[in-house]
Structure 1
Amino acid sequence: MHFLANTPEDLRPAAAALAQLLADRPVAAFYGNMGVGKTTFIKVLCRHLNIADTVNSPSFAIINEYQNGEGQQVFHFDLYRLKEPEELLDMGGEDYFYSGHICLVEWPEKAADYLPENRINVSMEELPDGSRSIRFELL
């Protein structure tokens, strides 16, 4: 699947599509350069999932947990600060990934060997005109 977005509001169709895919593959790995909009996309996705909490990047905490009114848990990871992939194991990362709950992972390349094979890769790229290209790949 491929989407183009010029504004955060333009991300809503992509967020709706990803929300449906997460029912079968609850782990999504977000790839893209710094500043491309990974956290912004996750904020829009969480709004679509009826998360009322403020969604922000867990850069320092590494994991943020959200819950919607129906009790659905969403775990948001930002692995940018990991020095070694094994740090994810020390935090119980694999337990989250195989819990059946939605896991949204920024900077997944920092711990690629520990991600589930059955996941969704979300690739984001800034185009020359400043718009964003968003692609989903089901693994």
Structure 2
Amino acid sequence: MILEVSLQTADDLVQFGAKLGGLLHGGETLELVGDIGAGKTTLTKGLARGLQIDDEVQSPTFTISRNYEAADGLRLAHYDFYRLPDAGIMKMELDEAIHDSHTITVIEWSDVVNNLLPTDVLQIVIQVQPDDSRKLTLKSSGEKSRRIVEKLR
């Protein structure tokens, strides 16, 4: 299932992320696709807000991963593989996060870990438009991600 959403501002992107975050219950994998500066981390900040995470979300570009605890026992695991030629030592950590029913896994620059992704992934492609707005294309690849996209319609 595919859903396209147009958002005008960074605040709109955060609000959309918060709405999406409120629909997540753990065990979901989100693949964020977009150029540098498209808003992948901004969307993740919104996800954290929707999951009621108080910590400030920062880009994991230099740390590769950042984890945030939600009040209800859920965890947001945020990965950025932009700087890596392969998953390397992160493979085991990523695999654990993906298969943990209490973790929402968000992956930026997933090319080097595509073979590790589960079959059910919610892919969110963020495209910067000429007027600096954002076009989001959400693609579900399984039952769980399909239900999420349906709720966002």
Decide: shared fold, TM above 0.5.
Answer: yes
Q: Which residue of 2 aligns with 1:9?
A: 11
Unaligned runs of 5+ in 1: none
1:115 lines up with 2:146 in the alignment: no
Structure 1 residue 61 displacement after superposition: 1.5
Equivalent AA in structure 2 for residue 13 of structure 1: F
How far apart, in 1, do the equivalents of 2:112 and 2:99 lie?
18
TM-score when normalising by structure 1 = 0.89
Alignment of 1:1-139 (within 5 A): 1-11=3-13, 12-17=15-20, 19-20=22-23, 22-23=24-25, 26-89=28-91, 91-100=92-101, 101-139=103-141
User: Identity of counterpart residues, as a percentage?
Assistant: 28
- Superposed CA deviations along residues 70-104 of structure 1, whole A, max 9, x for unmatched, are 22111011111112234432x42111111121001
1:24/1:138 Cα in 2 relative to 1: closer, same or farther (>3 Å)? farther
Structure 1 residue 15 displacement after superposition: 3.8
TM-score when normalising by structure 2 = 0.81
User: Cα RMSD between the aligned structures?
Assistant: 1.8
Shift >2 Å, 4+ stretches: 22-25, 85-88
**How many pairs are equivalent?**
137
